[in-house]
């Protein structure tokens, strides 16, 4: 049972570690399709393409500059999005951990209850059997300590 708990917790923590790395990568990379930078800058680029007329470059510079340094800049958005994604995943991860690991612990509890809660009351026959068994064990121990030891000592002379 402990092995099941170890295996399940190892798998769960690997999944958590993998998701943390994925969120971290998406927060700093522009290569992955799920990159936060890509997703958040795409509307800015689309907005830049709509600029026409005189001073297009200045207009584009202002749009990009606002996204990079404004009060609702891309870095704050990435931080908020990464934290929200992480919190959402952790909540689902905790629920999964409770279910999977709880299942293993519940089977241990059920096994314990099955073994010890449903024990039949001891009757006279069982009591007598237990007494006979104890007497037999004690006799066997005496034989080992006396007669068997004497025989082994006698045999050791012939070594």
The label of the residue with tokens 């929200």 reads: 84
80 and 137 fall within a common domain: no
Domain count, the chain: 2
Q: Are residue 31 and residue 67 in the same domain, yes or no?
A: yes
Based on the fold, state whether residues 40 and 85 are members of the same structural domain.
yes
Residues 154 and 88 in one domain: no
Residue, of 147 and 85, whose pLDDT is higher: 85
**Whole-number pLDDT of residue 116:** 61
Alpha helices for the chain (secondary structure H): 2-28, 36-49, 56-69, 74-116, 124-143, 149-156
Question: Within this chain, do residues 53 and 114 fall inside the same structural domain, yes or no?
Answer: yes
Tell whether 79 and 151 lie within a shared domain. no
- Inter-residue long-range contacts of 74-78, CB under 8 Å, 24+ positions, other chains counted: 74/37, 74/40, 74/41, 77/36, 77/40, 78/27, 78/36, 78/37, 78/40
Q: Would the pLDDT of 2 be above 80?
A: no
Query: What's the whole-model pTM score?
Result: 0.59
Selected residue with higher pLDDT from 14 and 97:
14
Are 95 and 141 found together in one domain? no
- d(CA 117, CA 113) in angstroms, rounded, equals 5
Domain containing 7 equals: 2-119
Is the domain of 105 the same as that of 158? no
Is the dihedral angle over the CA atoms 138, 143, 144, 145 positive or is it negative? positive
């Amino acid at each position: 049972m402990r092995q099941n708990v170890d295996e399940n917790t190892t798998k769960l923590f690997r999944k958590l570690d993998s998701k943390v790395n994925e969120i971290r990568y998406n927060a700093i990379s522009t290569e992955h399709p799920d990159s936060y930078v890509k997703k958040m800058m795409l509307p800015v680029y689309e907005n830049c393409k709509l600029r026409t007329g005189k001073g297009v470059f200045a207009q584009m510079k202002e749009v990009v500059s606002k996204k990079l340094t404004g009060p609702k800049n891309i870095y704050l958005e990435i931080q908020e999005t990464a934290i929200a994604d992480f919190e959402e995943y952790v909540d689902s991860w905790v629920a999964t951990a409770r279910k999977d690991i709880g299942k293993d612990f519940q089977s241990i509890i059920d096994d314990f209850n099955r073994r010890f809660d449903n024990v039949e009351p001891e009757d006279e026959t069982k009591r007598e059997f237990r007494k006979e068994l104890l007497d037999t064990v004690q006799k066997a121990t005496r034989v080992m300590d006396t007669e068997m030891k004497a025989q082994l000592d006698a045999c050791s002379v012939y070594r």
